[in-house]
Amino acid sequence: MSEIENLLREDLRGQRPYGAPQLDVPVQLNTNENAYAIPDDVAEVVERFLAREVRGLNRYPDRDAAALREDLAAYLRHGLTARNVWAANGSNEILQQLLQAFGGPGRTVLGFMPSYSMHPLLARGTGTAFVDAGREADYTLSPGHVREAVAEHDPDLVFLVSPNNPTGTALGTDVIDAACEAARGIVVVDEAYAEFARDPAATALSRLEGRRRLVVTRTMSKAFAFAGARVGYLAADPELVEKLLLVRLPYHLSSLTQAAARGALACASRLQAEVDALKHQRDRIVKHLRAAGLPVADSDANFVLVGGLADAPAVWRAVLDQGVLIRDVGLPGRLRVTAGTEEETAALLSAFETVMEQSPELFGEQR
Ligand SMILES: *Cc1c(COP(=O)(O)O)cnc(C)c1O
């Protein structure tokens, strides 16, 4: 063991940093980014908001991001105000702050994998024990399973993801209700893909009223095509939001980030056109691959989990050879594909068609 490795926290030794390969491939459908660049008219608004900040960069930003939180509350509706909302550098930082405040050494967060792979990593980084209660064989999650797992593990936090990554399907509000009723701790619903849901009413925002331990996290990385800006946020009871100020870094959210986010929020309805287009491409992928005989889960997100692969890593490689980068999330017989533009989706479907024709042995029951 090297000297530095020796000095590292025991629980981090031998670990590798998280991250999908960032390969230079013509069609990149592997990280669930929004396929559309920021449209010119939106870019001009964001640039105007940014320009207003530049000469004041000698000063620290608004620590409490008051104006941004007001705009986010207005965007979310559901009777929320700025006091219900908190913002940070991506919803990953939001989740980390929740774990710092309500988890930590000696505490437990309960999750249901396969789900967002950052949840266990954020738990580890904050010294919180992560318990995986798993899912049904078809990756669905029932209220009964959630209740049993909560009773068994008595977690300080419960992480639900709806729509779930990598499976794509949204949870019924009965599952969220079951978690809130069974758990004594904080219930977090990670809604990174909420804007892509087939039923927009399925959001846990509708369950916030009167539930002081429920937290709904969102991000501008997906629907707002703003992954590079790093803006995530949450909605919760004002008292819970105030507790997060205990762990946030001072001035964690730069003036430029706050301004850019406000500019994009001012264009929310304009950006909805791209979300609608991506939903259309997602449904096209589901329909097409099902017609080709591959089992595909219903998707409420901007990606689709494809099954029926006898050798998923080999299919991943063969599709990459066709110039299309998708994601091997480590699930046997399955790969995740992000919905792209119309052209990118055509390239994806044609790559699958070619690979199915050339290498039929890679498909079918998992070997
Ligand atoms: C993409 C994704 C996020 C977004 O993280 P950011 O830090 O906001 O970019 C959060 N949760 C899930 C489940 C995701 O897939």
**One domain, residues 121 and 197:** yes
Per-residue pLDDT, 367: 58
Number of domains in the chain: 2
Contacts of 339 (CB under 8 A, 6+ apart): 29, 35, 278, 279, 281, 282, 284, 285, 302, 303, 304, 345
Residue closest by Cα to atom 3 of ligand 1: 192
Q: Is 116 in the pocket of ligand 1 (CB under 6 A)?
A: yes
Q: Is 90 in the pocket of ligand 1 (CB under 6 A)?
A: yes
- Of 199, 232, 266, the one marking the end of a domain is 266
Of 221, 303, 329, the one to substitute when testing ligand 1's pocket (max ligand atoms within 8 A of C-beta) is 221
Residue closest by Cα to atom 15 of ligand 1: 165
Per-residue pLDDT, 22: 81
The verdict on residue 354 lying in a domain is yes
Q: Counting atoms of ligand 1 from 1, which one is nearest the CA of 222?
A: 1
The verdict on residue 201 lying in a domain is yes
Of 32, 89, 91, 217, the one to substitute when testing ligand 1's pocket (max ligand atoms within 8 A of C-beta) is 91
**One domain, residues 231 and 130:** yes
Measuring CA to CA, which residue among 66, 166, 149 is closest to residue 109? 149
Q: What is the CATH number of the domain that holds 14?
A: 3.90.1150.10
Please provide residue 227's backbone torsions phi and psi, each rounded to the nearest 5 degrees: -55, -35
Domain residues for the domain of 56 are 40-266
Q: Counting atoms of ligand 1 from 1, which one is nearest the CA of 116?
A: 13
- Of 235, 266, 297, the one marking the end of a domain is 266
Q: Counting atoms of ligand 1 from 1, which one is nearest the CA of 32?
A: 1
Rounded distance from Cα 325 to ligand 1 centre (Å):
19
Structure tokens at 72: 């986010």
Per-residue pLDDT, 365: 75
Per-residue pLDDT, 105: 97
Residue closest by Cα to atom 1 of ligand 1: 192
**One domain, residues 342 and 295:** yes
Rounded distance from Cα 85 to ligand 1 centre (Å):
17
pTM to 2 decimal places: 0.96
**One domain, residues 119 and 15:** no
How is 35-100 classified by DSSP, letter by letter?
SSPPPHHHHHHHHHHHHHHHTTTTSPP-TT-HHHHHHHHHHH-TT--GGGEEEESHHHHHHHHHHH
Contact 84, 238 (CB under 8 A): yes
The verdict on residue 288 lying in a domain is yes
Per-residue pLDDT, 23: 86
Rounded distance from Cα 355 to ligand 1 centre (Å):
30
Q: Is 167 in the pocket of ligand 1 (CB under 6 A)?
A: no
Distance between CA atoms of residues 326 and 121, nearest Å: 22
Find tokens 């287009």 and name the residue: 277
The verdict on residue 35 lying in a domain is no
Q: What is the pLDDT along the chain (367 residues), one digit of tens a residue?
A: 899 999 999 999 988 888 777 888 999 999 999 999 999 999 999 999 999 999 999 999 999 999 999 999 999 999 999 999 999 999 999 999 999 999 999 999 999 999 999 999 999 999 999 999 999 988 999 999 999 999 999 999 999 999 999 999 999 999 999 999 999 999 999 999 999 999 988 899 999 999 999 999 999 999 999 999 999 999 999 999 999 999 999 999 999 999 999 999 999 999 999 999 999 999 999 999 999 999 999 999 999 999 999 999 999 999 999 999 999 999 999 999 999 999 999 999 999 999 999 999 999 876 5
Q: Counting atoms of ligand 1 from 1, which one is nearest the CA of 221?
A: 9
Per-residue pLDDT, 21: 75
Q: Counting atoms of ligand 1 from 1, which one is nearest the CA of 231?
A: 8
**One domain, residues 262 and 273:** no
**One domain, residues 178 and 294:** no
Q: Is 169 in the pocket of ligand 1 (CB under 6 A)?
A: no
- Of 232, 266, 300, the one marking the end of a domain is 266
**One domain, residues 256 and 218:** yes
Per-residue pLDDT, 79: 97
Q: Is 192 in the pocket of ligand 1 (CB under 6 A)?
A: yes
Measuring CA to CA, which residue among 216, 212, 217, 244 is closest to residue 231? 217
